[in-house]
Chain A
Amino acid sequence: MAELLLRGAPVEDTGTAGSDGPPGRGRTATGWTELPDDDELMEQVYVKLEAVGFRVGRRLAERFAPTSRRLTDTLDVVKFVCKDIWMIMFNRQVDNLKTNHRGIYVLQDNKFKWFLRMSGNSGGAAAARRAQPYIWLPCGIIRGILDSFGISTVVVAETLGLPQCTFQIKVVTDE
């Protein structure tokens, strides 16, 4: 999906396509494709993927919210994301959950499933940058789930080395 969006319709809109034909754009001899060097395009892809994730998250929450107990505070909901939702989506639980008890939650997954098969020839940093678009969808999913529990948040993710991934959830208060 991220690849499709990066090479698909929005590229034509911004006029950056067609330098050397759509299928082989940016492709090198090793089969490695670079991300487009266009912040505006990346921004559009981010907005799109995050919005799709948000809708998915809303539905996941309706479908898998526990029916035998009520989740009352934010920590309960975040734990539900770490345990139940991660189990459903990635077949494992989040490795580490940290919080400062003031509205910031950090979820760390040391073997994020979508990153397990990703690597690059030119070192970890380039591969981590290249993998960036793939964590925008789960960011949106987390935000969607929390939103349907009535918590508005901002979710950002980053990766230090590839199979590892960290999501930071920041609760937005309405003041």
Chain B
Amino acid sequence: MIKVHCIAVLSRQGNPLYVGNFDQQQEDVKYHYLAHTSCDVIDERVEQNRAGDLFLGLLQTVGDMVVYGYVMNTGKRIILASSVSTESAAVRNALVKEIFQAVHAAYIAHACNPFNEAGSEDRLADANFDSLVAAIARARSTPSAAEPLPRARP
């Protein structure tokens, strides 16, 4: 199980397109900060391993939170902050990667909607995307969750 605190989508230049705060214990600004500090780590990882996977693994640990990163081929970055748990690293990585792929699919669905043109370069304001990502974040937060993650309509 993964208690997801935050999922953020950033542009190639690091502008926050979307920051979803799912625990309400911390203020949004904390997650904005996390997302931005992670940008440098992502740049470093991408530079180090140029032909790797889209999933970048664990980026940093901040207090009781762990931050994972994922970079799309089109330059957008997804960042996920969750609380530390007891599972092994391999199990966690697989779970987090699955969540990233679901968020990526939700992003693609958003990007392919021809009506989402206005201002989509600097803000990702889409109610469908919001609710889908919230559902994805919730889906793995109970110990027994085994059903597939919510998917965007193809």
Say yes or no: B73 contacts A71, CB within 8 Å: yes
Q: Which residue of A lies closest to B75 (CB)?
A: A150
Interface residues in B68-116 (C-beta closer than 8 Å to A):
71-75, 101, 104, 107-108, 111-112, 114
Say if the beta carbon of A65 comes within 8 Å of chain B: yes
Q: Which of B14-71 contact A (CB under 8 A)?
A: 46, 50-54, 71
Q: Out of A59, A66, A72, name the residue touching B112 (CB < 8 Å).
A: A59
The interface on chain B, measured as residues whose beta carbon lies within 8 A of the other chain's beta carbons, has a size of: 20
**Given A59-B111, A59-B112, A62-B111: A67 and B74 within 8 A (CB)?**
no
B-chain residues with CB within 8 Å of residue A117 when the two chains form the complex = none
A66 and B108 contacting across the interface, CB-CB below 8 Å: no
For the residues of B in contact with A, the DSSP-based class is loop
Does B74 lie within 8 Å of A149, measured CB to CB?
A: yes
Asked if A121 is at the interface of the complex by the 8 Å CB criterion, the answer is no
CA distance A149 to B53 in the complex (A): 16
Main secondary structure of the interface of A (DSSP, over half): loop
Tell me, rounded to whole Å, the shortest Cβ–Cβ distance linking B48 to chain A. Answer: 12
Among B71, B74, B114, B117, find the residue whose CB has the most chain A CB atoms closer than 10 A. Answer: B74
Which of B73, B111, B114 lies in contact with A149, CB distance below 8 A?
B73
9 shortest interchain CB distances as A-B pairs: A65-B73, A62-B111, A148-B74, A72-B50, A59-B112, A150-B75, A71-B73, A62-B108, A63-B112
Binding site for A on B (CB under 8 A): 12, 46, 50-54, 71-75, 101, 104, 107-108, 111-112, 114, 117
Spell out A's residues near B (CB within 8 Å): 55, 58-59, 61-63, 65-72, 148-150
Known: A59-B114, A63-B108, A70-B51. 18 other contacts (CB 8 A): A55-B117, A59-B111, A62-B74, A62-B112, A63-B111, A63-B112, A65-B72, A65-B74, A66-B73, A68-B53, A68-B54, A69-B52, A70-B50, A71-B73, A72-B51, A149-B75, A150-B74, A150-B75
